[in-house]
């Protein structure tokens, strides 16, 4: 099977080592389209989004980030794992790489990071895609996923687990998906995950989303109860230009549940269509 994987890399940006995977590169018409910076969720190292990076890379120069405390990016007991620090990481990352024409695609926690980072990026940002963002926050209903699911699965991963053991936590995933998660979940620092999970209930995502100054797309899952219709209505009332599409037959991990539906939901929003290989 052919691959458009270019390289993995590290940059020192915002005072930490930020690791990324690059797909596509700048050839074959990609230089005429805005690059994609993909920001994964709370326990998703960049490598677990590699299958999406491959598809995006067919049309776009694509960078998939290891958020601090995940994968091969910096992690320590003194590192700041707040949303502000994560947003500053993204702003520093695009500046360090010299990206001048790019769009942010964030899933779950990554969507919250993208929304806050958008207000901190000096220039070059063309679009933002918010994929099933947790809408919990001060005075709002809690995030539907429970903290023990993360803590228990990470603890198992740190001792060593295989795809069959991962079935307990991800029963609907394929063998290959569970195998990859079992291999990489141990790289998610529990301190980072705890800080992000608590941040889901302490940071105001709606305020960040309302300040978006570039075209935005809200993509939500039909299942999972993360983003309800009333949440969509509130977000679009604050930002009337925000587009919305709900992906059928998918829970929160949309491309794992309905990969074709995930790509179709972008339509032409990114400047070109994307599609499953």
Q: Which CATH number do you get for residue 113? A: 3.40.50.1820
- pTM greater than 0.95: yes
Q: Does residue 182 fall inside a structural domain?
A: no
Q: Does residue 131 fall inside a structural domain?
A: yes
DSSP label at residue 46: G
CA distance 53 to 268: 17
Token look-up 């020192």 returns 12
Q: In what order do the strands lie in the sheet with 102-107?
A: 5-13, 16-23, 62-65, 35-39, 102-107, 125-131, 216-221, 243-247
pLDDT value at position 240?
96
From residue 58, how far is each of 32, 42, 96, 215 by CA, in Å? 13, 26, 24, 23
Q: Does residue 84 fall inside a structural domain?
A: yes
Q: Which residues contact 26 (CB under 8 A, 6 or more apart)?
A: 61
Q: Does residue 169 fall inside a structural domain?
A: no
CA distance 8 to 28: 20
- CA dihedral (234, 237, 240, 244) in degrees, to 10, reads 20
DSSP label at residue 143: P
Q: Does residue 155 fall inside a structural domain?
A: no
Q: Does residue 132 fall inside a structural domain?
A: yes
**Residue closest to 18 by CA, chosen among 83, 77, 85:** 85
- The tally of CA atoms less than 13 A away on the side-chain side of residue 122 is 8
Q: Which two tokens stand for residue 265?
A: 């939901």
Beta pairing partners, 130: 106, 218
CA distance 147 to 118: 28
Q: Among the residues of the chain, which ranges form H helices?
A: 50-57, 83-97, 109-118, 147-159, 163-166, 175-184, 190-202, 205-210, 229-238, 254-257, 259-266
pLDDT value at position 27?
83
Contact 40, 65 (CB under 8 A): yes
Q: Which domain holds residue 257?
A: 5-138+203-266
Domains contained in the chain, number: 1
Q: pLDDT in tens for each of the 277 residues of the chain?
A: 589 999 999 999 999 999 999 999 988 889 899 999 999 999 999 999 999 999 999 999 999 999 999 999 999 999 999 999 999 999 999 999 999 999 999 999 999 999 999 999 989 999 999 999 999 999 999 999 999 999 999 999 999 999 999 999 999 999 999 999 999 999 999 999 999 999 999 999 999 999 999 999 999 999 999 999 999 999 999 999 999 999 999 999 999 999 999 999 999 999 999 985 4
């Amino acid at each position: 099977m052919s691959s458009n994987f270019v390289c993995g890399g590290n940059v020192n940006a915002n005072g930490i080592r930020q690791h990324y995977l690059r797909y596509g590169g700048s050839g074959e018409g990609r230089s005429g389209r805005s690059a994609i910076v993909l920001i994964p969720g709370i326990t998703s190292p960049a490598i677990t989004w590699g299958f999406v990076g491959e598809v995006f890379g067919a049309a776009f120069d694509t960078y998939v980030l290891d958020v601090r405390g995940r994968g091969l990016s910096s992690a320590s007991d003194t590192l700041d794992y707040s949303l502000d620090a994560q947003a500053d990481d993204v702003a520093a990352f695009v500046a360090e790489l010299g990206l001048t024409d790019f769009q942010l695609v964030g899933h779950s926690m990554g969507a919250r990071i993208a929304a806050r980072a958008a207000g901190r990026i000096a220039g070059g940002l063309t679009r933002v895609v918010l994929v099933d963002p947790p809408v919990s926050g001060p005075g709002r209903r809690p995030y539907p996923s429970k903290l023990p699911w993360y803590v228990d699965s990470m603890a198992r991963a740190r001792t060593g687990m295989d795809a069959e053991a991962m079935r307990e936590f991800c029963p609907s995933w394929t063998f290959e998906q569970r195998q990859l998660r079992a291999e990489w979940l141990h790289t998610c620092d529990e301190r980072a995950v705890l800080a992000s999970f608590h941040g889901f209930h302490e940071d105001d995502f709606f305020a960040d989303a309302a300040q978006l100054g570039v075209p935005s797309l809200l993509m939500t899952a039909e299942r999972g109860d993360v983003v309800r219709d009333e949440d969509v209505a509130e977000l679009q009332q604050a930002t009337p230009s925000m587009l919305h599409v709900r992906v059928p037959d998918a829970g929160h991990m949309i491309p794992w549940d309905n990969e074709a539906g995930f790509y179709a939901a972008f339509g032409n929003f990114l400047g070109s269509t994307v599609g499953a290989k």
